[in-house]
Structure 1
Amino acid sequence: MAKVHGRHTFISLGGDDLSTFTNTSEITRTADSHDVTGYGADAHEFVGGLKGGTATMGGIYDNTASTGPRAVIEPLIGQTVELIRQTEGTGAGKPQDKATVLVTQYVETNPVADMVTWSCEMQISGTVDTTPQAA
């Protein structure tokens, strides 16, 4: 099995490519857990429920007026848009995660002795399409 470097990752939000502004991204998938333990049991029993998840991304701030992270993400707060993440870059057969997400947060961090950074948090709405990229 070959190792994959993160520098090839492609990520877009609402149709805008944010790859060049992003240096970290994550998709977390979750499932509800329901306790179905009955009387007399010696241990808990659980069944799964609805699936869900979150997504995050962040990077070094760029003040490009029309395509930078602030210009793209801030107007999307509170809206549902498409998120596409290709962890091995673009190409036929390579993995891809595509989901509708609710943009819940955009943060800019300004340390005194370092670069300004940004981050974005999203709530996955519906299922994540993990179909590999088409040719």
Structure 2
Amino acid sequence: MAEVHGKKTVIKVATKDISPYCKTSSYEGSADVHDITGYGKDAKVKAGGLIDGKFTCGGTYDNTASTGPRAALKPLLGTTVAVIRMPEGTGTGKPQDAFSAVLSKYVETAPVDDMVSWSAEFEISDVVTTTTQA
């Protein structure tokens, strides 16, 4: 088993590489589950349905005017954007997830005793395409 360090993760939103500003990211896949139990059964019978998902990321705020998280993400709030996620970094044979997602939330947090931070939440729209980088 080979472990992979999270520091190699690459995240691109609407073609902008926001990886240098991220400290954390999370992909969550889910699916609808339907109860199709009929009369006479002693236990529930279930069937899978539509696939869904969420993606979140966040990190330390950086005021880099054209590429920082505020400049790259805040204007996209409420729009559908292309997201590319490379959990093992870039390189031949490494996995890559590509999907469209609506940026549903962008948050900036400014505590009095710490650095300003940011976070973003995306609702995935349609299928996630998983490929191997060439």
Taking structure 1 as the reference length, the TM-score comes to 0.97
Unaligned runs of 5+ in 2: none
Residue type of the partner of 2:75?
A: P
Residue type of the partner of 2:120?
A: C
Per-residue CA deviation, residues 12-59 of structure 1 (Å, 9 max, x unaligned), is 100000000001011111110000011222111100001010100000
Tell me the equivalent position of 1:117: 117
1:49 and 2:68 matched:
no
Structure 1 residue runs of 4 or more that deviate by more than 6 Å after TM superposition: none
1:87 and 2:54 matched:
no
Taking structure 2 as the reference length, the TM-score comes to 0.97
Tell me the equivalent position of 1:17: 17
1:36 and 2:36 matched:
yes
Indicate the percent of aligned positions where both proteins have the same amino acid: 55
Tell me the equivalent position of 1:97: 97
- Aligned counterparts of 2:31 and 2:120: Cα–Cα separation in 1: 22
Q: 1:70 Cα shift?
A: 0.4
Unaligned runs of 5+ in 1: none
- Aligned counterparts of 1:20 and 1:47: Cα–Cα separation in 2: 41
RMSD (Å) for aligned C-alpha atoms: 0.7
1:65 and 2:36 matched:
no
- Aligned counterparts of 1:94 and 1:69: Cα–Cα separation in 2: 26
More strand by share: 2
- Aligned counterparts of 1:18 and 1:115: Cα–Cα separation in 2: 18
